[in-house]
């Protein structure tokens, strides 16, 4: 009798616990996105653009730390298509990264469902097409991750928020631009304009109430051009950069390079009227300028000039000086960048130094871009699938070297750098060209520890590193004829794209992959291949 009672209590406890764990699972958010071509008019005349559920830009994803995101993408274009989630770390799920090194593209008139978690992240991010030059036609949108309600934010409470997607825009059809690059004879033309939320000069309006404070989430969704952002008559308090809480410095204007995002608090403490929001191109011969409107509720006065003045368009020193003021808020609670639970990245031993030099080159007479002498070409079989199924001949870990070889002629290749899970690595981006570079690493945030203006990096430069409160970012600018150094803890197993965020350069070879690997097959470090994975190339025969 006593045993029966004990068994009954034990089984009841198991039922209760099972119910607790089911209910304790993080929430799921479901989306169905139909991707089509449609007519848009961002420059005042009709163009063919990429729409998601009929929208340009695409729908905003608003979620919370650790939410599970399920997006069913239905491809109604006439060619294969993928979306990548710019800055979402895809912890244990590089399968969901949405680039050709990890995923087979979604064929026309079919669908594929992304499933991933916003694990241990907060912040301002974006998504966009990664295939070909699709992002030149649209298909991009905002992706915001809020902190859980039980975690306080390390800055004053705000009354509302706005998304500003700012980027350059071309009048030419993306297929025409792609054909121009494929022929390899010339560069892309200069962009026609800057857009804010897909709208031309003065069309986007953001309305708030006097005396209240708003969060402005600002992202550069362009393909070629750095921008400077400012608001007439108002200052901006920086609070977050690509998922990291920053020191709350106050700025009158702020540089945001291609692929980067930042969030500001702005208090509406002016007169009740309209004000200009201004973005202009940086480091360009011809200056592109666009505006939006910050409108106080009840305003009867339209915004009037002159527009607020930003830094000199070509003042690189100003931009680097500002970049050094962007530092990590060490008193913030969560979510923290990796390594989890510690901000003492400056005391972690570096196990490997990788110096990556970008270059413009010609291969077979065609314009290409290279990294350490290798101009990347996507193999028919995605690298991740080849690695998973053990398919030989798709890539070699010896193709690209850890340091550039001066005078080496550039060649085509599928560049993969092999690393071990939990390596702590120093990566130096050496830019020997006269144009600013913007680099993005999928799967990670990396501590920016040093910038060098118009000089070659040497080991002595480490004496100047910020080893205390460098800001972690997923997209890193490298100024002309200069270098930028980052430190990164490679604790996210997978095959990760390290690429130029300047899309024509990426398309023509300025990218590679970082393989973060160990020989242990464990769901604690990496999920198995999804059951719905699309197989292509040699992976079709290996499944």
Q: What pLDDT digit, counting tens, does each position of 154-207 carry?
A: 999 999 999 999 999 999 999 999 999 999 988 999 999 999 999 999 999 999
The residue among 55, 41, 71, 32 whose CA lies nearest residue 141 is 55
> Residue 15's pLDDT band (boundaries 50, 70, 90)?
very low
Q: Does domain 160-325 have CATH number 2.60.40.420?
A: yes
Which string of b and e fits 127-153 if b means at least 16 CB within 10 Å? bbbbbbbbbbbbbbbbbbbbbeeeeeb
Say if residues 256 and 216 touch (Cβ distance below 8 Å): no
Q: What pLDDT digit, counting tens, does each position of 378-430 carry?
A: 999 999 999 999 999 999 999 999 999 988 899 999 999 999 999 999 999 99
| Contacts for 147-152: CB closer than 8 Å, 24+ residues apart | 147/64, 147/65, 147/122, 147/334, 147/335, 148/64, 148/65, 148/66, 151/65, 151/333, 151/334, 151/335, 152/333
Average pLDDT, rounded, for the chain: 94
Three-class secondary structure of residue 356 per DSSP: strand
Radius of gyration, alpha carbons of the chain:
24
CATH says 345-530 is which class?
mainly beta
What pTM value is reported for the model? 0.94
Q: What pLDDT digit, counting tens, does each position of 501-529 carry?
A: 999 999 999 999 999 999 999 999 999 99
Give CA torsion, residues 328, 331, 336, 338, to 10 deg: 60
The CATH architecture assigned to 28-146 reads Sandwich (2.60)
**From CA 74, how far away is CA 322, in angstroms rounded?**
42
The residue among 187, 162, 88, 70 whose CA lies nearest residue 130 is 88
The segment(s) of the chain belonging to CATH 2.60.40.420 are: 28-146, 160-325, 345-530
Cβ atoms < 10 Å from Cβ of 300: 8
**From CA 383, how far away is CA 539, in angstroms rounded?**
10
pLDDT at 14: 44
Block residue for tokens 């996105």 = 33
Residues β-bridged to residue 327: 470
Q: What pLDDT digit, counting tens, does each position of 25-79 carry?
A: 899 999 999 999 999 999 999 999 999 999 999 999 999 999 999 999 999 999 9
**From CA 514, how far away is CA 442, in angstroms rounded?**
9
- DSSP codes joined into one string, 455-523: S---GGGGGG---SSBPEESEEEE-TT-EEEEEEEE-S-EEEEEEESSHHHHHTT-EEEEEEE-S---T
């Amino acid at each position: 009798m006593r045993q029966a009672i004990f068994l009954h209590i034990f089984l009841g406890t198991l039922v209760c616990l099972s119910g607790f764990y089911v209910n304790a699972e993080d929430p799921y958010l479901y989306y169905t996105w139909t991707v089509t071509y449609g007519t848009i008019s961002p420059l005042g005349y009709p163009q063919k653009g990429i729409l998601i559920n009929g929208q340009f830009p695409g729908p905003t994803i608003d979620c919370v730390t650790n939410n599970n995101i399920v997006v069913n993408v239905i491809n109604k274009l006439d060619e294969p298509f993928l979306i990548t989630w710019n800055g979402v770390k895809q912890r244990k799920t590089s399968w969901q990264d949405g680039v050709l090194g990890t995923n087979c593209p979604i064929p026309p008139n079919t669908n594929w469902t992304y499933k991933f978690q916003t694990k241990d992240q907060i912040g301002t991010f974006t998504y966009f097409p990664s295939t070909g030059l699709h992002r030149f036609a649209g298909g991009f949108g905002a992706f915001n991750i809020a902190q859980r309600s039980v975690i306080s934010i390390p800055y004053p409470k705000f009354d509302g928020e706005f998304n500003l997607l700012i980027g350059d825009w071309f009048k030419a059809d993306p297929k025409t631009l792609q054909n121009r690059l494929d022929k390899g004879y010339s560069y892309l033309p200069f962009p026609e304009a800057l857009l804010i939320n897909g709208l031309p000069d003065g069309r986007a309006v953001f309305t708030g109430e006097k005396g209240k404070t708003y969060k402005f989430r600002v992202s550069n969704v362009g393909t070629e051009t750095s921008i400077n952002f400012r608001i007439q008559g108002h200052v901006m308090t920086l609070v977050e950069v690509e998922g990291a809480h920053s020191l709350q410095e106050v700025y009158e204007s702020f540089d945001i390079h291609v692929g980067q995002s930042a969030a500001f608090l702005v208090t509406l403490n002016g007169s009740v009227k309209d004000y200009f929001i201004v973005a202009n191109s940086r480091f360009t011969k011809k200056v592109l300028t666009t505006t939006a409107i910050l409108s106080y509720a009840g305003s009867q006065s339209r915004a009037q000039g002159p527009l607020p003045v930003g830094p000199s368009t070509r003042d690189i020193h100003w931009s680097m000086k500002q970049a050094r003021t962007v530092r990590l808020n060490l008193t913030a609670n969560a979510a923290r960048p990796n390594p989890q639970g510690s901000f003492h990245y400056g005391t972690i031993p570096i196990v490997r130094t990788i110096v990556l030099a970008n270059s413009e080159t010609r291969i077979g007479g065609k314009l290409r871009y290279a990294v350490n002498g290798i101009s990347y070409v996507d193999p028919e079989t995605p690298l991740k699938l080849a690695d998973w199924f053990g398919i030989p001949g798709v890539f070699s870990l010896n193709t690209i070297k850890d340091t550039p070889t001066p005078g080496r002629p550039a060649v085509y290749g599928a560049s993969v750098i092999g690393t071990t899970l939990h390596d702590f690595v120093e990566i130096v981006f050496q830019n020997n060209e006269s144009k600013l570079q913007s680099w993005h690493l999928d799967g990670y945030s990396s501590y920016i520890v040093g910038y060098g203006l118009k000089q070659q990096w040497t080991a002595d430069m480490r004496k100047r590193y910020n080893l205390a409160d460098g800001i972690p970012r997923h997209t890193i600018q490298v100024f002309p004829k200069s270098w930028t150094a980052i430190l990164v803890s490679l604790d996210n197993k997978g095959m990760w794209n390290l690429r130029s965020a300047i899309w024509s350069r990426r398309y023509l070879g300025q990218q590679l992959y970082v393989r973060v690997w160990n020989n242990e097959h464990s769901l604690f470090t990496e999920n198995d291949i999804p059951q719905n994975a699309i197989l292509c190339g040699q992976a079709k025969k290996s499944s």
